[in-house]
Protein backbone atom coordinates (compact mmCIF):
# COMPACT_ATOMS: atom_id res chain seq x y z
CA UNK A 1 0.00 0.00 0.00
CA UNK A 2 1.41 3.37 -1.05
CA UNK A 3 1.75 6.32 1.35
CA UNK A 4 -0.99 8.14 -0.60
CA UNK A 5 -3.40 5.27 0.03
CA UNK A 6 -2.58 5.22 3.74
CA UNK A 7 -3.32 8.95 4.03
CA UNK A 8 -6.85 8.50 2.65
CA UNK A 9 -7.77 5.41 4.69
CA UNK A 10 -8.71 7.22 7.94
CA UNK A 11 -11.03 9.56 6.00
CA UNK A 12 -12.86 6.62 4.43
CA UNK A 13 -13.22 4.89 7.77
CA UNK A 14 -14.55 8.10 9.39
CA UNK A 15 -17.11 8.55 6.62
CA UNK A 16 -18.27 4.97 7.07
CA UNK A 17 -18.82 5.45 10.79
CA UNK A 18 -20.86 8.61 10.25
CA UNK A 19 -22.97 6.91 7.55
CA UNK A 20 -23.74 3.94 9.85
CA UNK A 21 -24.69 6.33 12.69
CA UNK A 22 -27.27 8.17 10.56
CA UNK A 23 -28.71 4.91 9.26
CA UNK A 24 -29.23 3.73 12.87
CA UNK A 25 -31.00 6.98 13.76
CA UNK A 26 -33.30 6.71 10.75
CA UNK A 27 -34.19 3.11 11.55
CA UNK A 28 -34.91 4.01 15.22
CA UNK A 29 -37.23 6.85 14.20
CA UNK A 30 -39.19 4.60 11.81
CA UNK A 31 -39.56 1.80 14.32
CA UNK A 32 -40.70 3.96 17.27
CA UNK A 33 -44.02 5.65 16.33
CA UNK A 34 -45.34 5.25 19.90
CA UNK A 35 -42.45 7.27 21.33
CA UNK A 36 -42.99 10.05 18.82
CA UNK A 37 -46.70 10.14 19.62
CA UNK A 38 -46.06 10.33 23.36
CA UNK A 39 -43.69 13.24 22.81
CA UNK A 40 -46.41 15.02 20.86
CA UNK A 41 -48.98 14.47 23.62
CA UNK A 42 -46.65 15.96 26.20
CA UNK A 43 -46.64 19.32 24.42
CA UNK A 44 -48.46 21.98 26.50
CA UNK A 45 -52.04 22.57 25.42
CA UNK A 46 -52.94 26.05 24.22
CA UNK A 47 -54.71 28.04 26.94
CA UNK A 48 -58.22 29.31 26.37
CA UNK A 49 -59.13 32.95 26.73
CA UNK A 50 -61.14 35.03 29.13
CA UNK A 51 -64.52 33.67 30.22
CA UNK A 52 -67.07 36.39 31.06
CA UNK A 53 -70.58 35.95 32.45
CA UNK A 54 -72.83 39.04 32.47
CA UNK A 55 -75.71 39.13 34.95
CA UNK A 56 -78.44 41.69 34.14
CA UNK A 57 -81.14 42.94 36.51
CA UNK A 58 -84.38 43.23 34.50
CA UNK A 59 -86.77 43.57 37.44
CA UNK A 60 -89.65 46.09 37.12
CA UNK A 61 -87.66 48.44 39.38
CA UNK A 62 -85.19 48.94 36.53
CA UNK A 63 -87.62 50.26 33.94
CA UNK A 64 -86.15 53.77 33.91
CA UNK A 65 -82.52 52.71 33.90
CA UNK A 66 -82.51 49.62 31.68
CA UNK A 67 -80.92 51.61 28.81
CA UNK A 68 -78.00 52.41 31.10
CA UNK A 69 -77.66 48.76 32.07
CA UNK A 70 -77.67 47.54 28.49
CA UNK A 71 -75.25 50.24 27.28
CA UNK A 72 -72.88 49.32 30.09
CA UNK A 73 -73.03 45.58 29.33
CA UNK A 74 -72.56 46.13 25.61
CA UNK A 75 -69.65 48.51 26.12
CA UNK A 76 -67.80 46.09 28.40
CA UNK A 77 -68.21 43.20 25.96
CA UNK A 78 -67.00 45.35 23.08
CA UNK A 79 -63.89 46.27 25.05
CA UNK A 80 -63.20 42.60 25.79
CA UNK A 81 -63.91 41.41 22.26
CA UNK A 82 -61.12 39.01 21.31
CA UNK A 83 -61.41 35.75 19.29
CA UNK A 84 -60.33 33.61 22.25
CA UNK A 85 -62.80 35.17 24.74
CA UNK A 86 -66.28 33.79 25.40
CA UNK A 87 -69.37 35.45 26.87
CA UNK A 88 -72.53 34.30 28.61
CA UNK A 89 -75.60 36.43 29.37
CA UNK A 90 -78.09 35.84 32.19
CA UNK A 91 -81.12 37.95 33.13
CA UNK A 92 -82.92 37.95 36.46
CA UNK A 93 -85.82 39.60 38.25
CA UNK A 94 -88.84 38.26 40.09
CA UNK A 95 -89.06 35.25 37.78
CA UNK A 96 -86.71 32.32 37.27
CA UNK A 97 -83.33 33.56 35.92
CA UNK A 98 -82.84 33.06 32.20
CA UNK A 99 -79.62 31.95 30.53
CA UNK A 100 -79.83 33.83 27.22
CA UNK A 101 -76.43 32.87 25.82
CA UNK A 102 -73.68 30.50 26.93
CA UNK A 103 -70.06 30.67 25.81
CA UNK A 104 -70.65 32.70 22.64
CA UNK A 105 -68.69 35.37 20.78
CA UNK A 106 -68.94 39.06 21.61
CA UNK A 107 -71.14 39.66 18.56
CA UNK A 108 -73.68 37.05 19.65
CA UNK A 109 -73.68 38.26 23.26
CA UNK A 110 -74.27 41.87 22.20
CA UNK A 111 -77.13 40.82 19.92
CA UNK A 112 -78.75 39.05 22.87
CA UNK A 113 -78.29 42.08 25.13
CA UNK A 114 -79.92 44.39 22.59
CA UNK A 115 -83.04 42.24 22.74
CA UNK A 116 -83.36 42.41 26.53
CA UNK A 117 -86.47 44.11 27.98
CA UNK A 118 -87.58 44.88 31.51
CA UNK A 119 -89.70 42.24 33.18
CA UNK A 120 -93.41 43.05 33.37
CA UNK A 121 -95.52 42.15 36.38
CA UNK A 122 -98.85 43.21 37.86
CA UNK A 123 -97.80 42.25 41.36
CA UNK A 124 -97.28 45.20 43.67
CA UNK A 125 -94.93 43.25 45.90
CA UNK A 126 -92.39 40.78 44.59
CA UNK A 127 -89.01 39.34 45.51
CA UNK A 128 -85.92 39.59 43.34
CA UNK A 129 -84.34 36.20 42.69
CA UNK A 130 -80.81 37.49 42.75
CA UNK A 131 -79.27 34.62 44.67
CA UNK A 132 -80.69 32.07 42.20
CA UNK A 133 -79.22 34.10 39.35
CA UNK A 134 -75.85 34.36 41.06
CA UNK A 135 -75.72 30.61 41.62
CA UNK A 136 -76.62 30.03 37.96
CA UNK A 137 -73.93 32.46 36.84
CA UNK A 138 -71.12 30.95 38.90
CA UNK A 139 -72.19 27.51 37.71
CA UNK A 140 -71.33 28.48 34.12
CA UNK A 141 -67.61 28.81 34.81
CA UNK A 142 -65.29 25.93 33.99
CA UNK A 143 -61.99 24.96 35.57
CA UNK A 144 -60.11 24.94 32.26
CA UNK A 145 -60.45 28.67 31.71
CA UNK A 146 -57.41 30.56 33.05
CA UNK A 147 -59.28 33.83 33.56
CA UNK A 148 -62.88 34.16 34.75
CA UNK A 149 -64.94 37.29 35.42
CA UNK A 150 -68.52 37.76 36.51
CA UNK A 151 -70.10 41.14 35.74
CA UNK A 152 -73.17 41.93 37.86
CA UNK A 153 -75.24 44.92 36.72
CA UNK A 154 -77.95 45.44 39.28
CA UNK A 155 -80.05 47.77 41.41
CA UNK A 156 -78.58 46.02 44.42
CA UNK A 157 -81.39 43.82 45.72
CA UNK A 158 -78.76 41.40 46.94
CA UNK A 159 -80.52 39.32 49.56
CA UNK A 160 -78.48 36.27 50.53
CA UNK A 161 -80.15 33.37 52.37
CA UNK A 162 -78.63 32.35 55.71
CA UNK A 163 -74.97 31.33 55.36
CA UNK A 164 -75.23 31.70 51.59
CA UNK A 165 -72.81 34.61 51.39
CA UNK A 166 -69.88 32.63 52.79
CA UNK A 167 -70.58 29.64 50.60
CA UNK A 168 -70.88 31.86 47.50
CA UNK A 169 -67.57 33.56 48.22
CA UNK A 170 -65.91 30.20 48.82
CA UNK A 171 -67.26 28.84 45.55
CA UNK A 172 -66.11 31.88 43.59
CA UNK A 173 -62.66 31.69 45.13
CA UNK A 174 -62.38 27.98 44.39
CA UNK A 175 -63.11 28.64 40.72
CA UNK A 176 -60.98 31.82 40.81
CA UNK A 177 -63.87 33.97 39.61
CA UNK A 178 -63.55 37.74 40.06
CA UNK A 179 -66.97 39.24 40.76
CA UNK A 180 -67.35 42.76 39.34
CA UNK A 181 -70.34 44.89 40.29
CA UNK A 182 -71.95 47.91 38.61
CA UNK A 183 -74.76 49.49 40.61
CA UNK A 184 -77.40 51.01 38.33
CA UNK A 185 -80.50 52.59 39.92
CA UNK A 186 -82.71 55.65 39.67
CA UNK A 187 -82.63 56.21 43.43
CA UNK A 188 -80.07 56.58 46.18
CA UNK A 189 -78.28 53.46 47.35
CA UNK A 190 -77.98 54.84 50.87
CA UNK A 191 -80.40 55.48 53.71
CA UNK A 192 -80.18 57.64 56.80
CA UNK A 193 -76.73 58.30 58.27
CA UNK A 194 -75.13 57.07 55.05
CA UNK A 195 -76.02 53.43 55.66
CA UNK A 196 -75.93 51.44 52.42
CA UNK A 197 -79.34 49.92 51.72
CA UNK A 198 -78.71 48.55 48.22
CA UNK A 199 -75.68 46.51 47.20
CA UNK A 200 -74.14 46.08 50.63
CA UNK A 201 -73.39 42.39 50.10
CA UNK A 202 -72.45 42.97 46.48
CA UNK A 203 -69.75 45.41 47.57
CA UNK A 204 -68.40 42.77 49.95
CA UNK A 205 -68.59 40.08 47.26
CA UNK A 206 -66.50 42.19 44.88
CA UNK A 207 -63.90 42.93 47.53
CA UNK A 208 -63.55 39.32 48.65
CA UNK A 209 -63.12 38.00 45.08
CA UNK A 210 -60.73 40.77 43.93
CA UNK A 211 -63.34 42.33 41.66
CA UNK A 212 -64.32 45.95 40.92
CA UNK A 213 -67.29 47.73 42.52
CA UNK A 214 -68.79 50.83 40.86
CA UNK A 215 -71.83 52.97 41.55
CA UNK A 216 -72.97 54.11 38.12
CA UNK A 217 -76.38 55.54 39.01
CA UNK A 218 -78.90 56.41 36.31
CA UNK A 219 -77.09 58.72 33.88
CA UNK A 220 -75.89 57.65 30.45
CA UNK A 221 -72.97 60.07 30.64
CA UNK A 222 -71.37 57.86 33.28
CA UNK A 223 -71.41 54.80 31.04
CA UNK A 224 -68.20 55.40 28.98
CA UNK A 225 -66.03 55.98 32.04
CA UNK A 226 -67.60 53.03 33.86
CA UNK A 227 -66.98 50.80 30.84
CA UNK A 228 -63.32 51.82 30.81
CA UNK A 229 -62.85 51.16 34.51
CA UNK A 230 -64.61 47.81 34.55
CA UNK A 231 -63.06 46.42 31.37
CA UNK A 232 -59.58 47.54 32.47
CA UNK A 233 -60.09 45.91 35.85
CA UNK A 234 -61.26 42.66 34.23
CA UNK A 235 -58.25 42.55 31.93
CA UNK A 236 -55.90 43.12 34.89
CA UNK A 237 -57.50 40.39 36.99
Mean pLDDT computed over 111-128: 90
Residue 29 burial (C-beta neighbours within 10 Å; 0-12, 13-18, 19+): exposed
pTM score, whole prediction: 0.78
What's the confidence (pLDDT) of residue 113?
98
Residues with Cβ within 8 Å of 59's Cβ and at least 6 positions away in sequence, in order, are 92, 93, 94, 118, 119, 126, 128, 155, 157
Q: Is the per-residue pLDDT at 141 higher than 70?
A: yes
Q: pLDDT tens, 178-198?
A: 999 999 999 999 998 899 999
Mean pLDDT computed over 106-131: 92
Q: How many angstroms separate the CA atoms of 172 and 179, rounded?
A: 8
Average pLDDT over all residues of the chain: 83
Neighbouring-strand partners of residue 165? none
Say if CB 230 and CB 176 are below 8 A apart.
no
Identify the CA nearest to 94 among candidates 127, 64, 62, 61.
127
> In degrees rounded to 5, what are phi and psi of residue 209?
-115, 15
Compute the C-alpha angle 185/192/186, nearest 5°.
Answer: 10
Fold of 50-236: Rossmann fold (3.40.50)
CB atoms within 10 A of CB 57: 27
Lowest-pLDDT choice from 71-75, 126-130, 136-140: 126-130
Binned at pLDDT 50, 70 and 90, residue 122 comes out as: confident
Q: How many angstroms separate the CA atoms of 59 and 95, rounded?
A: 9
The continuous run of DSSP H or E covering 216 comes out as strand 213-217
Amino acid sequence: MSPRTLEKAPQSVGFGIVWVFFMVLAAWGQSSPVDQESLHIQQPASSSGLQVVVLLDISPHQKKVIPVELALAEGIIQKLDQPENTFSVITFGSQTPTLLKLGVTAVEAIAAIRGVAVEETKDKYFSIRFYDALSLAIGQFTDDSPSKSLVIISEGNDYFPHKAFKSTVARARQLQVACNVAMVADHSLYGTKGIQRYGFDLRRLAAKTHGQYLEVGEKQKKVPRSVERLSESILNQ
